[in-house]
């Protein structure tokens, strides 16, 4: 399967919208979903931290992934942003066809 879901976070809705706008304008993802209410707990530089974050989910293709990852890293304010991709094993055929069609550069 050529389709992927990429997960990331942003520190606030404004930054998430900015990142999503850059990604979508470059056609590196067919769509993005923002979930603005979340709290992350994590280890950072030897300390246990917590922060409010906005979850970002991008639907993209294997071909677009390297450029999406590079653009996301460049657009992101975090030193080490979460960028995790997982392969879509199955899905509605029409949706997957649309995803591939809309994700091109």
Q: What is the CATH number of the domain that holds 82?
A: 3.30.70.120
Tokens representing residue 11 in the block: 């520190």
Q: What total number of domains does the chain contain?
A: 1
User: What counts of helices (H) and strands (E) characterise the chain?
Assistant: 3, 6
Which residues form the domain of 62? 3-102
Alpha-carbon distance of 11 to 36, in angstroms, equals 10
List pLDDT tens digits, range 29-65.
Answer: 999 999 988 999 999 999 999 999 999 999 999 999 9
CB atoms inside a 10 Å sphere around CB 54: 21
List pLDDT tens digits, range 11-35.
Answer: 999 999 999 999 999 999 999 999 9
């Amino acid at each position: 399967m050529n389709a992927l879901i990429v997960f990331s976070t942003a520190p606030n809705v404004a930054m998430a919208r900015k990142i999503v706008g850059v990604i979508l304008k470059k056609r590196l993802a067919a769509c993005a979903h923002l979930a603005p209410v979340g709290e992350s707990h994590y280890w950072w530089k030897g300390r246990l931290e917590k922060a409010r974050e906005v979850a970002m989910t991008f639907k993209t293709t294997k071909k677009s992934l390297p450029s999406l990852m590079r653009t996301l890293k460049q657009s992101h304010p975090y030193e080490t942003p979460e960028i995790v991709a997982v392969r879509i094993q199955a899905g509605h055929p029409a949706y997957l066809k649309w995803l591939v069609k809309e994700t091109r550069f």
